[in-house]
Amino acid sequence: MAIRIIRQEGDEILKKKSREVDVIDEKIQVLIDDMIETMHKYNGVGLAAVQVGILKRVIVIDIYDDNGPIVLINPVITKTKGEQEVDEGCLSFPNKFAKVIRPKEVTAEYLDRNGKSKKIKAKDLLAQAICHEVDHLNGEVFVDKIIPGTLEYIEPENNK
């Protein structure tokens, strides 16, 4: 396992659409393990493969609720319900936070890391994370969706 370099704001790859995963092979398994390790190192809730420079439709999410990380390959949001105004940040936009409107609940279909077809119903933070990461796969970043006037830059602790 390895910590991958997270692509940052301004990197053109973040605006590109990711491709479907055709085969879940050893390379994809290594990518998944590296993404989980990288997400945990930077205290992220989610990470899309594009954020580590790989244009594949793979996301990992961990809302730190004792269920461990969730791996979604080729995720498709099939249903949304309600809306919530949430504070959001992104590992590709360090120390930037803003308010975004996201669905309160989502249903998504995806493949797990073993290639098994799954469906997830999520609400609140998990729904938010799924939407945020699926946006990445489509070349969309949260700063394009923020409620105007809510973007904040929080100075990192070690720079104070």
How is residue 42 written in tokens? 């930077």
Task: Please indicate whether residue 105 is annotated as part of the active site.
Answer: no
Give me the catalytic one of 26, 85, 133, 155.
133
- Give the residue numbers annotated as catalytic, written as ranges: 133
